[in-house]
Amino acid sequence: MSKFRWVNDEIKIDFPVSKAMKNTMEEAEQYDLENNISEYNAVQDMIELMGKEGYVTGMYTKEQWDRLCKRYPYV
């Protein structure tokens, strides 16, 4: 059983991410553990936008961007 309520712990992010993305992912996980849905959703939106920007600039593949969005879904 996952320790998270909203974060999909079955999906692993096993590719390099920026420090900003890593920090944002950690924030999302902390808000999930605190059951703070409004802050989680705000940070989730940032993950999605940062992933999109990373995809457009070539930092992430489409599959990697999709994995970020699936691990941190909007609730």
Q: What is the pLDDT of residue 2?
A: 81
| Residue 2: inside a domain | no
Q: What is the pLDDT along the chain (75 residues), one digit of tens a residue?
A: 789 999 999 999 999 999 999 999 999 999 999 999 999 999 999 999 999 999 999 999 999 999 999 999 999
| Residue 67: inside a domain | yes
Question: Which of 45, 43, 50, 46 lies closest to 64, judged by CA?
Answer: 50
Q: What is the pLDDT of residue 69?
A: 97
Structure tokens at 56: 């457009």
Amino acid at 29: E
Range of the domain at 55: 19-71
Q: In the chain, how many domains are there? A: 1
| Residue 48: inside a domain | yes
Sign (positive or negative) of CA dihedral 25, 67, 35, 39:
positive
